[in-house]
A and B are shown apart, each in its own frame.
Chain A
Amino acid sequence: EAGVAQSPRYKIIEKRQSVAFWCNPISGHATLYWYQQILGQGPKLLIQFQNNGVVDDSQLPKDRFSAERLKGVDSTLKIQPAKLEDSAVYLCASSLGGARETQYFGPGTRLLVL
């Protein structure tokens, strides 16, 4: 079974630029999550989708971050404009059902904002 795929694996941009990350969850998984992991910390949930609807985006900085999950499969996370403090690893995860089920994580996208 293929795992969660993410791209790109690494990205370096300058502040105020825009960046987009892509995630392809495990086939058949209804729930998709985006987490932000700052160096030395645990992952923090940014947004949770159930199929193509948003379940929780309470911790998403909506003035600069946006995410979508068209057709309930792939998802993109965008930052526009980026700030220095956005430097982190962005992890995508998926689960078969809701949050009570095991989440499977992708390898992450490491973002460096200069």
Chain B
Amino acid sequence: SQQGEEDPQALSIQEGENATMNCSYKTSINNLQWYRQNSGRGLVHLILIRSNEREKHSGRLRVTLDTSKKSSSLLITASRAADTASYFCATEAGRRALTFGSGTRLQVQP
């Protein structure tokens, strides 16, 4: 079963706009990670936020984590056409490897 669920399933925006994706999960975690997957390619790690952190930044990416609500959000600011991809949240708990959500498909129109 998949622990994380992303919302929305699909998102279409114009270049320059911000994109926000949300992730909800069910059990306690050690960390939550966001990955990007371009069509037909492998996953690329974007950012990791630990359970004792609330917010993290990396370039145009901003991730928040609310462990009381078991939710996270990924914000991409000033989006570009090259940001078009699927974005997955993944949770890590214990020794088990990552549990991925079903992803948000982002389309950035030039």
Contact = CB atoms under 8 A, between A and B. Distances in A.
A41 B48 contact: no
Contacts of B48: 102
Contact of B100 (A43, A99, A100): A43
B30 A45 contact: no
A62 B23 CA distance: 31
Interface in A73-105: 91, 93, 98-100, 102-105
A100 B94 CA distance: 8
Interface in A17-70: 33, 35, 40-45, 48, 55-56
A8 to B, nearest CB: 14
A104 B45 contact: yes
A103 B44 CA distance: 9
A45 B99 contact: yes
Given A102-B45, A103-B45, A105-B42, A41 B102 contact: yes
B31 interface: yes
Contact of A99 (B43, B96, B103): B96
B62 to A, nearest CB: 19
Contact of B43 (A40, A91, A98, A110): A91
Given A98-B95, A99-B94, A102-B45, 11 more contacts: A35-B100, A42-B2, A43-B88, A99-B95, A99-B96, A99-B97, A99-B98, A102-B33, A104-B45, A105-B43, A110-B40
6 contacts: A42-B90, A55-B95, A100-B30, A103-B98, A105-B42, A106-B42
